[in-house]
Amino acid sequence: MKDRQRDTFDADELAIVLSHYSLGAIESITEFARGSRRSPKVGIVCAKGKFLLKRRDPERANLNRIGFAHRLQAHLAGNGFPLPRLVLPAHCDDPTQPVLVLRDRVYELFEYVSGHSYRGTHDETRDAGRILGVFHRSTRGFDRDPDCPTGDYHDANAVRTGLNTIPSSISPHESVVGHQAELLGTINTLYEAYDQAADAVRNFGIDGDPDQVIHSDWHPGNMLFKNDRVAAIIDYDSARLSKRIIDVANGTLQFSMLTGDQPENWPDHLDDSRANLFLSAYEKVEPLTEPQRRAIPHLMIEALIAESVVPIAMTGSFGRWHGFRFMQVVRRKVDWLRRNTDQLIEVLQS
């Protein structure tokens, strides 16, 4: 499988795009190699400050969806939520649509926010939970509109379809040769675990919870930190209408996940102290019901499976790792979660 190259801006493209903004003299432009490989970014230092320019991944360039995300960001900014501010192109007539469209390419310019990646400290973990509570409290008053997406990782047919598709998407790879039975066994195990977790969540009555706008991608990679606090939440492309517990469970999973350089060396267990810190901080802002708390481990299983299955079914890989190799890791972690569901519920309630 060939490595996918990161898209970049060329000099002429940058000159044309920047001519549509009133930034003053440009002092420096630096490639910002982060996020989607199909969405190039550059950091800009100029007379008016520091900014980040982004060209949208073509698969995420739906203007209606982008407009919804921008309206949400404007709402959050008005409530003092920490996020990068969007910069309007010169002569923009619609402040709710601060995008630049040139030759079917979509560009966005943001004020640069200084910060660093998640370092796994308890204070950072606690603040990530608190800020999610602030997000949900703020979006409860956000007016919904026809462009608001729906759907999530819970009981999703797209996940089951993805599991069924994976054998054909990754079987030709050399890592699968001689291991076809193990691949099918892994898929069957994950399919069973996903269905059982979805059933458990339904039995807790979560499907009857009220809908509101959620972030739907609450993980450390979408945050910048400074002095052990969240400096900014930087990605709203997945925001949608759903149950807030969907965010809470995924956040609890993401901030308690133990990883490393190579997936085969990742431990099976989660960091239960970070899980507890994240959830406790969230509940100080937005309390949960007892059924919601008890549903969290089951939703974590669904989230873990969904996050890996969808990209592997589409591309045969998860980031830089081949799909079969990564699915073996997911299976180990799912097996651990299934064995330790009751213990994890106790940890989250302590």
Concatenate the DSSP letters of all residues of 6-24 into one string: PP---HHHHHHHHTTS---
The widest CA-to-CA distance across the chain, in whole angstroms, is 61
Domain assignments of the chain as residue spans, ordered by start:
11-111, 122-349
Cβ 152 vs Cβ 213: under 8 Å: no
pLDDT at 95: 67
pLDDT-derived band at 198 (thresholds 50, 70, 90) equals very high
Name the pairing type of β-strands 100-102 and 223-226. Answer: unpaired
pLDDT at 267: 95
pLDDT at 3: 43
Backbone angles phi, psi at 57, to 5 degrees: -55, 130
Cβ 60 vs Cβ 237: under 8 Å: yes
Cβ 327 vs Cβ 191: under 8 Å: no
Q: List Cβ<8 Å contacts ≥24 apart for 21-25.
A: 21/87, 21/89, 21/90, 21/100, 21/109, 22/48, 22/90, 23/47, 23/48, 23/51, 24/48
231-290 pLDDT per residue, tens: 999 999 999 999 999 999 999 999 999 998 888 899 999 999 999 999 999 999 999 999
61-98 pLDDT per residue, tens: 888 889 899 999 999 999 999 999 999 998 776 666 78
pLDDT at 91: 77
Residue 55 amino acid letter? R
2-37 pLDDT per residue, tens: 445 789 999 999 999 999 999 999 999 999 887 778
pLDDT at 305: 97
Least confident of 29-38, 103-112, 298-307: 29-38
CATH assignment of 11-111? 3.30.200.20
Name the β-bridge partners of 229: 226
Concatenate the DSSP letters of all residues of 231-276 into one string: EEE---TT-EEE-HHHHHHHHHHHTT----SSGGGS-SS--HHHHH
Q: Does domain 122-349 have CATH number 3.90.600.10?
A: no
- Rounded to the nearest integer, the mean pLDDT of the chain is 91
Give the Å distances, CA to CA, from 6 to 34, 51, 229. 10, 20, 30
146-184 pLDDT per residue, tens: 878 999 999 999 999 999 998 888 766 656 666 688 888
Element (H, E) at 52: strand 49-55
Cβ count near 28 (within 10 Å) = 10
Rounded CA gap, 43 and 32, in Å?
A: 6
SS3 210: coil
Residue 1 has pLDDT above 50, yes or no: no
